[in-house]
Amino acid sequence: MALRLDNIGIVVEDLGAAVEFFRELGLELEGRATVEGEWAGRVTGLGDQRVEVAMMRTPDGHGRLELSRFLAPPVVADHRNAPVNALGYLRVMFEVDDIDETLARLRRYGAQLVSTDVIQYEAAYRLCYIRGPEGILIGLAQELG
């Protein structure tokens, strides 16, 4: 059986700001569209929906992030600031070449460390969680050696 992760979806309020943040992280905008109609609502179970979508692609071409802004129906829940041990969506983790340089760039877009600093795990990784646009939890990992 073949299996491949197609994308991870995140619902946001400010689609433009989210696109710019993930571009700064290194993802490429694959395309933007408005998805609406009866067929789309049948997929999601939301009925008549209208959603602005931006598909972001990792530079290696293997991973995608779907950013969505719902126009209709209205958003019904908000768990962006849930703690790391909350049930459901936890975070998206990205491997980066230089975690300090990446953090410096993302801070200009409002990123904040969840902890007080970047943590080193043995001689293998430097890791941190950050809150990105709208409080989205994102993990960064830099492989060492």
81: confidence class by pLDDT, cuts 50, 70, 90: confident
Statement: residue 12 has pLDDT above 90: yes
* Residue 4: per-residue pLDDT: 85
CB atoms within 10 A of CB 50: 15
Whether the per-residue pLDDT at 39 is higher than 80: the answer is yes
Q: Is the pLDDT of residue 116 over 90?
A: no
Please say whether the structural domain 8-72 has been given the CATH code 3.10.180.10.
yes
First and final C-alpha spacing in the chain:
35
**Candidate CATH numbers 3.10.180.10, 3.20.20.70, 3.30.1360.200, 3.40.50.10860; the one for domain 92-143:** 3.10.180.10
pTM above 0.75, yes or no: yes
In the predicted structure, residue 129 carries a pLDDT above the cut 90: yes
| Domain boundaries, given as residue ranges, for the chain | 8-72, 92-143
Task: Evaluate whether 12 touches 134 at the Cβ level (below 8 Å).
Answer: yes
What pLDDT does residue 84 have?
78
